[in-house]
Amino acid sequence: MSGGTALNPKTAPPFPIAATAMVGNTQLRKNVRHATDVIQAKRARVVGEMPDWQALRDAGSAVREHTIRNLPFYLEQFERNCTAAGGHVHWARDAAEARAIVVRLAQEAIARGRTAPSIAGRPAGEPQGTHPGAGEAADGVALQGEVIKIKSMTTEEIQLNRALESVGIHPYETDLAELIIQLGQDQPSHIVVPALHKNRQQIREIFLREMKLEHLGESPQDLADAARRFLREKFLRVETAISGANFLIAETGGVCVVESEGNGRMCLTLPKTLITLAGIDKVVPRFQDLEVLLQTLPRSATGERMNPYNSVWTGVGKGYAAGDGPEHFHVVLIDNGRTEVLADAEARQTLHCIRCGACQNACPVYRETGGHAYGSVYAGPIGAILTPQLLGMHYAQSLPYASSLCGACYEVCPVKINIPEVLVHLRGRVVEENTGGLKTITNPEAMAMKAAGAIFRSEGRFRAAQRLGRMGETPLERRDGQGQKWVSWLPGMLGGWTNVRDLRAMPQQTFREWWEERERKGAPAGEAG
Ligand code: SF4
């Protein structure tokens, strides 16, 4: 069993190419449509119960905006308080640094496990793992071992599993959806429900094959039981865990993880060493801020009133709590492009995101293509604005265009991130990047936009363009069975529109012309204007 292949936006095909392939996969589209329909219906129901939902959104937005505006202050406060509670805080500028820190910490933890009696009561030095090579530290070449993982898209962002495996440390995903992805050698397609593109039969086949089971039923209970049996042995044996974080609490130095299955809590409490990775944007100022965010996050994410498991932990157990939870606790704070996002005043709101995934479920583009077309662990509308900013606008340039700008993502966002506004801003940055200082001379799209701008600024030019458009398209018009005129082919750049859809022919009379004619003739008395 390996970690599967990681999504890498730097090498992934551009969105239009990947999306064309995905929309041809009818099973995937059916699975995605069904799952997002179910989650959206649940979300609408539980949000509808909250008379103060808009006030909660405003409060969530205010918390996030205040935090991101004062990020250095709250991060330093978090570091002080986490350290005082017995934790160790590490700072990583980029993915490579974060991987190196986590690998080193995991190796140190595994080495400690070799020299001390384990929680399972094994003698010191006894091999920990069952996969080939585990427990072969004495060869002096590499210290091999195992870790369990929970709830971390950030580890996917930095492609941590590969780094661990390259030094002989095997990671076991314990979140059910992430386990399905790992066992199926697949890639996550949603930030909350990574296996959303799989249906129950496909999951059963993966479990049968990878868990080497002879029989397995099809019900959700059967699948959950199989996963529980598979994971329970890992929880009780592996002594190092790697987790993500939903929130970092500056005032206490605490970390919060919310989840539905309880597997996270097993990872947070049973192992001797806990390594938590979090983007620097995950911090919130006060414990009390969770009051708002823990109401809006589960409702937006999975349509639950409250997450079944909400875990908050601070440092390591001392005094009466000694031996309760991990003995060694590390937090790795990852920048990896986030300060660049912070520097852009118009796009900074991207960092307000609390990763609920509601924008993905609501997006008509995501619902057709699924997540893999985005080439990144962050898919859907949030991925379309986050990924190119984290990487630098040179990569993933097609993502800001992967949207109809319908605004559905903004409507559902619990912290009111105006994603369409950021998308338009990033499209401008893409054009700027591609044209440098010679915008209109070298770039046909920029020239076309400049011409369109000149036309829209003048009523006379706009009317003339409409007349020209009507004349120009007349030879291309075809009638359907109802006598309606359509254009199915347009030349040049305009052909991008008609490649995948027909264009309704322009009406012979525009609304303005109709209105003026009506005024000339004198509108009948009492007719609505
Ligand atoms: S952008 Fe908003 S809706 Fe989308 S994942 Fe982030 S918080 Fe949720």
Among protein residues, the one whose CA lies closest to atom 4 of ligand 1? 359
Among protein residues, the one whose CA lies closest to atom 8 of ligand 1? 356
Q: For residue 486, what are the β-bridge partners?
A: 478, 504
Integer Cα distance of 254 and 315 in angstroms: 7
Index of the ligand 1 atom closest to the CA of residue 358: 3
What number of CA atoms fall less than 13 Å from residue 351's CA on the CB side? 31
Question: What is the structure's pLDDT at 296?
Answer: 97
List b or e across 39-74, with b for residues whose CB sees 16 or more CB atoms inside 10 angstroms.
bbeebeebbeeeeebeebbebbbebbbebbeebeeb
171 C-alpha to center of ligand 1: Å? 28
Q: Give the residue from 423, 296, 409 showing the smallest Cα distance to 359.
A: 409
Integer Cα distance of 242 and 330 in angstroms: 9
Element (H, E) at 457: helix 444-457
Asked whether 75 lines ligand 1 (CB < 6 A), one says: no
350 C-alpha to center of ligand 1: Å? 9
Q: Is 103 helix (H, G, I), strand (E, B) or coil?
A: helix
Write the DSSP assignment of 352-385 as a string of letters.
G-----HHHHH-HHHHHH-SGGG-SSS-HHHHHH
Asked whether 390 lines ligand 1 (CB < 6 A), one says: no
Q: pLDDT of the chain along its 529 residues, tens only?
A: 444 456 788 888 889 899 988 888 999 899 999 999 999 999 999 999 999 999 999 999 999 999 999 999 999 999 999 999 999 999 999 999 999 999 999 999 999 877 765 444 443 444 344 333 334 444 444 457 999 999 788 999 999 999 999 999 999 999 999 999 999 999 889 999 888 889 999 999 999 999 999 889 989 999 999 999 999 999 999 999 999 999 999 999 999 999 999 999 999 999 999 999 999 999 999 999 999 999 999 999 999 999 999 999 999 987 777 778 899 999 999 999 999 999 999 999 999 999 999 999 999 999 999 999 999 999 999 999 999 999 888 888 999 999 999 999 999 999 999 999 999 999 999 988 887 756 555 677 778 888 999 999 999 999 999 999 999 889 999 998 888 999 988 888 788 788 878 889 998 888 999 999 999 988 775 554 4
358 C-alpha to center of ligand 1: Å? 6
353 C-alpha to center of ligand 1: Å? 5
410 C-alpha to center of ligand 1: Å? 8
Asked whether 354 lines ligand 1 (CB < 6 A), one says: yes
360 C-alpha to center of ligand 1: Å? 8
Ligand 1 pocket test: which of 53, 57, 65, 300 has the largest number of ligand atoms within 8 Å of its C-beta?
300
Index of the ligand 1 atom closest to the CA of residue 381: 4
Asked whether 382 lines ligand 1 (CB < 6 A), one says: yes
Ligand 1 pocket test: which of 190, 415, 423, 426 has the largest number of ligand atoms within 8 Å of its C-beta?
415
Asked whether 359 lines ligand 1 (CB < 6 A), one says: yes
Asked whether 408 lines ligand 1 (CB < 6 A), one says: no
Ranges of beta strands (E only) in 180-327 are: 240-243, 247-249, 254-259, 273-279, 283-284, 309-313
Decide if 230 contacts 173 (C-beta within 8 A): no
Decide if 224 contacts 207 (C-beta within 8 A): no
183 C-alpha to center of ligand 1: Å? 28
Integer Cα distance of 275 and 106 in angstroms: 8
- Which positions ≥6 away from 194 have C-beta within 8 Å? 153, 175, 177, 178, 180, 181, 188
Among protein residues, the one whose CA lies closest to atom 2 of ligand 1? 413
DSSP assigned state of 90 = E
Write the DSSP assignment of 149-174 as a string of letters.
EES-HHHHHTTHHHHHHHTTEEEEE-
Asked whether 358 lines ligand 1 (CB < 6 A), one says: yes
Asked whether 417 lines ligand 1 (CB < 6 A), one says: yes
Ligand 1 pocket test: which of 359, 366, 409 has the largest number of ligand atoms within 8 Å of its C-beta?
359
Decide if 399 contacts 383 (C-beta within 8 A): yes
Asked whether 385 lines ligand 1 (CB < 6 A), one says: no
457 C-alpha to center of ligand 1: Å? 35
Q: Nearest 10 degrees: CA dihedral of 333, 338, 343, 347?
A: -140
Ligand 1 pocket test: which of 153, 382, 426 has the largest number of ligand atoms within 8 Å of its C-beta?
382
Integer Cα distance of 364 and 415 in angstroms: 20
Among protein residues, the one whose CA lies closest to atom 3 of ligand 1? 413
Question: What is the structure's pLDDT at 129?
Answer: 40
Asked whether 355 lines ligand 1 (CB < 6 A), one says: yes
Decide if 281 contacts 71 (C-beta within 8 A): yes
Decide if 456 contacts 447 (C-beta within 8 A): no
Asked whether 413 lines ligand 1 (CB < 6 A), one says: yes
502 C-alpha to center of ligand 1: Å? 33
